[in-house]
Amino acid sequence: MSSALGNLPSSADYAALLPAFIVAIVPLLILFVDLFYRESGKWRRVVATGIAVVWLIVAAVLQGMQYPHDYAAFGGAFVQGGFSIVFSEIVIVATIATLMLSIGVGRDDQVAGTTALLLWSASGAMLMAGASNLMIVFLGLELLSLGLYCLCAMSKRPTARESALKYLILSSMASAFLLYGSALLFGATGSVGFAALAAATVTPLLALGAGLFIVGLAFKLSLVPFHAWTPDVYEGAPLPITAFMSVATKAGTLAVLARFAYAALPSDRAAAILAPLWVLAALSMVIGNLGALAQTDMKRLLAYSGIAQVGYIVTAFAGTTALGLRYAILYLAGYMFMNLGAFAVVALMARDGDAVVGLPRFAGLAYRRPWLAVAMTFFLIGLAGLPPTIGFTGKILILAASVGAGYAWLAGVLILGTAISAYVYFKIVRVMFAQVDAAHVRDERSPSALPWVAVAVCAAATLVLGLVPFTPSNVLPLVK
Amino acid sequence: MSVAPDYYVILSAVLFSIGVVGVIARRNPLIMLMSIELLFNAANLALVTYARAWTNNAGHVFAFLVITVAAAEAAIGLAIVAVTFRRMPFVDVDEVSALKG
Amino acid sequence: MLLYLLWLLPLFGGVLLWAFGPQLKSWAGPIGAALIGVAFVATVVLWNDATAPGGLHAGLVTWLPGWSFGLQLDRLSLIWSLIITGVGFLIHVYSIGYMDGDRAFARFFAYMNFFVFAMMTLVLSDNVIGLLVGWGLVGLASYFLIGFWFEKPSAVAAARKAFVMNVVGDVGIMFAVFMIVARIQSIGYADIFAHFQQAFSPTALFLVCLGLFIGCAAKSAQIPLHTWLPDAMEGPTPVSALIHAATMVTAGVYLIARFAPLWSASADARELVGAIGGLTAIAGAILGCAQWDIKRILAYSTMSQIGYMIMGVGIGAYDAGVFHFFTHAFFKAQLFLAAGIVIHALADEQDVRRMGGLWKQMPFAFVAMLVGVLAISGVPGLSGFFSKDAVIYGALESGHPWLYAVGLVTAGITAYYMFRLLFVTFFGAYRGNVDQSDLGIRHPELAGTAASTGHRSDEEEPHHHAPAWLMSVPVGILIVPTIAIGWLDAWPGAPWRQFFAGFFPRVNEAAVAAPFSETISTVLVFVVVVAGFAIAYVRYGAPAALRDAIARLRTETVRMPAVLVNAYYFDAAYDALLVRPARVLGGWFDRFVDPHVIDAGVREVAITSQWLGHLFRSFQTGLVRAYALSIAFGVLCIVAYYAYAFAFTGSGR
CA distances from C232 to C154, C224, C443, C457 (A): 10, 16, 19, 21
Q: How far is C636 from chain B (nearest CA, A)?
A: 11
Exposure string over A450-460, b if 16+ CB within 10 A, otherwise e: bbbebbebbbe
Q: How far apart are CA C620 and CA A291, in angstroms?
A: 10
Looking at residue C57, what DSSP letter applies? Answer: E
* Cβ-contact B45, B8 below 8 angstroms: yes
| Helix, strand, coil share of chain B (percent; to 5) | 75, 0, 25
Note the pLDDT of residue C480: 86
Note the pLDDT of residue A99: 93
Q: Which residue among C621, C629, C632 sits closest to B97, beta carbon to beta carbon?
A: C621
Q: Which helix (H) or strand (E) holds A72?
A: strand A71-73
| DSSP-derived 3-state class of residue C73 | strand
Note the pLDDT of residue C541: 80
Q: Strands, E, within C49-112: which ranges?
A: 56-62, 68-73
Is residue A212 pLDDT above 90, yes or no?
A: yes
Q: Following DSSP, what letter does each residue of C229-258 receive, concatenated? A: HHHGGGS-HHHHHIIIIISGGGHHHHHHHH
Q: Which residue of A has its CA nearest to C616?
A: A291
Q: A426-430, long-range: CB within 8 Å, 24+ apart, which pairs?
A: A426/A380, A426/A384, A427/A293, A427/A359, A428/A301, A428/A359, A428/A362, A428/A376, A428/A380, A429/A376, A429/A377, A429/A380
Task: Give percent of chain A with pLDDT exceeding 70.
Answer: 96
Could you state, in chain order, the average pLDDT of each consecutive group of 10 residues for chain C (653 residues)?
85 84 79 88 86 80 75 88 90 84 82 90 88 86 83 82 83 84 80 83 87 89 85 83 84 89 85 90 88 87 90 86 89 88 81 81 85 87 86 84 88 90 85 74 54 42 55 85 83 80 72 74 88 88 79 79 79 78 76 71 76 82 89 91 76 42
Within 13 Å and on the Cβ side, how many CA atoms surround C228?
28
Among candidate residues C212, C200, C305, C225, the one with its CA nearest the CA of residue C257: C212
Note the pLDDT of residue A6: 53
Instruction: Kindly provide the ipTM of the predicted complex, given to two decimals.
Output: 0.96
Q: Which residues pair with C69 in a beta bridge?
A: C61
Q: How far is B87 from chain A (nearest CA, A)?
A: 10
**Higher pLDDT residue, C29 or A477?**
C29
Sign of CA dihedral C315, C317, C319, C321: negative
**Summary mean pLDDT of chain A:** 89
Looking at residue C647, what DSSP letter applies? Answer: I
The answer to whether the Cβ–Cβ distance between C642 and A291 falls below 8 Å is no
A355 touches chain B (CB under 8 A): no
Q: How far apart are CA C239 and CA C253, in angstroms?
A: 19
Could you state, in chain order, the average pLDDT of each consecutive group of 10 residues for chain B (101 residues)?
76 95 92 95 95 92 95 94 88 85 75
Mean pLDDT of A238-253: 94
Mean pLDDT of A413-425: 89
Among candidate residues A164, A426, A398, the one with its CA nearest the CA of residue A292: A426
Q: How far is B57 from chain C (nearest CA, A)?
A: 24
* Chain A positions in Cβ-Cβ contact with residue C650 (cut-off 8 Å): 202, 204, 207, 269, 272
Which chains form contacts with chain C, at 3 or more CB pairs under 8 Å?
A, B
The answer to whether the Cβ–Cβ distance between A170 and C624 falls below 8 Å is yes
* Chain B positions in Cβ-Cβ contact with residue C620 (cut-off 8 Å): 100-101
* Cβ-contact C277, C321 below 8 angstroms: no
* Cβ-contact C426, C294 below 8 angstroms: no
**Angle at CA A186, nearest 5°, toward A181 and A188?**
95
Q: If contacts are CB pairs under 8 Å, which of residues 629-648 in chain C contact chain A?
A: 630-631, 633-635, 637-639, 641-643, 645-647
Q: How far apart are CA A278 and CA A223, in angstroms?
A: 10
* Cβ-contact A168, A209 below 8 angstroms: no
C621 touches chain B (CB under 8 A): yes
The answer to whether the Cβ–Cβ distance between C646 and A272 falls below 8 Å is yes
A308 touches chain B (CB under 8 A): no
* Chain B positions in Cβ-Cβ contact with residue C628 (cut-off 8 Å): 23-24
Q: How far apart are CA C111 and CA C236, in angstroms?
A: 12
The answer to whether the Cβ–Cβ distance between B101 and C617 falls below 8 Å is yes
A417 touches chain C (CB under 8 A): no
Torsion angle, CA of A268/A273/A277/A280, rounded to 10 degrees? Answer: 140
The answer to whether the Cβ–Cβ distance between B93 and C632 falls below 8 Å is no
Q: How far apart are CA A18 and CA A51, in angstroms?
A: 17
Rounded to two decimals, the pTM is: 0.66
Is residue C546 left, alpha or beta, with left meaning phi > 0 and alpha meaning psi from -120 to 50?
alpha
State which amino acid sits at residue C651: S
Q: How far apart are CA C565 and CA C563, in angstroms?
A: 6
The answer to whether the peptide bond before residue A388 is cis (omega within 30 degrees of 0) is yes
Q: How far apart are CA A255 and CA C554, in angstroms?
A: 86
Q: How far apart are CA C510 and CA C316, in angstroms?
A: 12
Q: If contacts are CB pairs under 8 Å, which of residues 245-304 in chain C contact chain A?
A: none
Q: How far apart are CA A469 and CA B97, in angstroms?
A: 43
- Angle between the C401-426 and C383-397 helix axes, to the nearest 10 degrees? 160
State which amino acid sits at residue B58: A
Q: How far apart are CA A203 and CA A185, in angstroms?
A: 10
Q: Which residues pair with A297 in a beta bridge?
A: A358
Burial of C458 (0-12, 13-18, 19+ CB in 10 A): exposed
Q: How far is B56 from chain C (nearest CA, A)?
A: 20
* Chain B positions in Cβ-Cβ contact with residue C622 (cut-off 8 Å): 97-101
Torsion angles phi and psi, residue A73, rounded to 5: -90, 155
Among candidate residues C463, C467, C233, the one with its CA nearest the CA of residue C340: C233
* Chain C positions in Cβ-Cβ contact with residue A421 (cut-off 8 Å): none
Q: How far is C603 from chain B (nearest CA, A)?
A: 24
Q: How far is C122 from chain A (nearest CA, A)?
A: 20
* Chain A positions in Cβ-Cβ contact with residue B26 (cut-off 8 Å): none
C630 touches chain B (CB under 8 A): no
Within 13 Å and on the Cβ side, how many CA atoms surround C5?
13
Question: Among the listed ranges A102-116, A247-261, C87-101, C579-593, which one has the minimum average pLDDT value?
Answer: C579-593
Among candidate residues A305, A476, A340, A332, the one with its CA nearest the CA of residue A398: A332
Note the pLDDT of residue C470: 80
Is residue A452 pLDDT above 50, yes or no?
A: yes
Q: How far apart are CA C71 and CA B64, in angstroms?
A: 63
Burial of A58 (0-12, 13-18, 19+ CB in 10 A): middle
How does strand A78-80 pair with strand C68-73? Answer: unpaired
Note the pLDDT of residue C455: 45
Q: Following DSSP, what letter does each residue of C372-413 receive, concatenated? A: HHHHHHT-TTSHHHHHHHHHHHHHHHTT-HHHHHHHHHHHHH
Number of helices (H) and strands (E) in chain B: give both, helices first: 3, 0
The answer to whether the Cβ–Cβ distance between B83 and A153 falls below 8 Å is yes
Task: Read off the pLDDT of residues A17-61 as tens digits, 9 standing for 90 and up.
Answer: 899 999 999 999 999 999 988 877 788 888 999 999 999 999 999
* Chain A positions in Cβ-Cβ contact with residue C181 (cut-off 8 Å): none
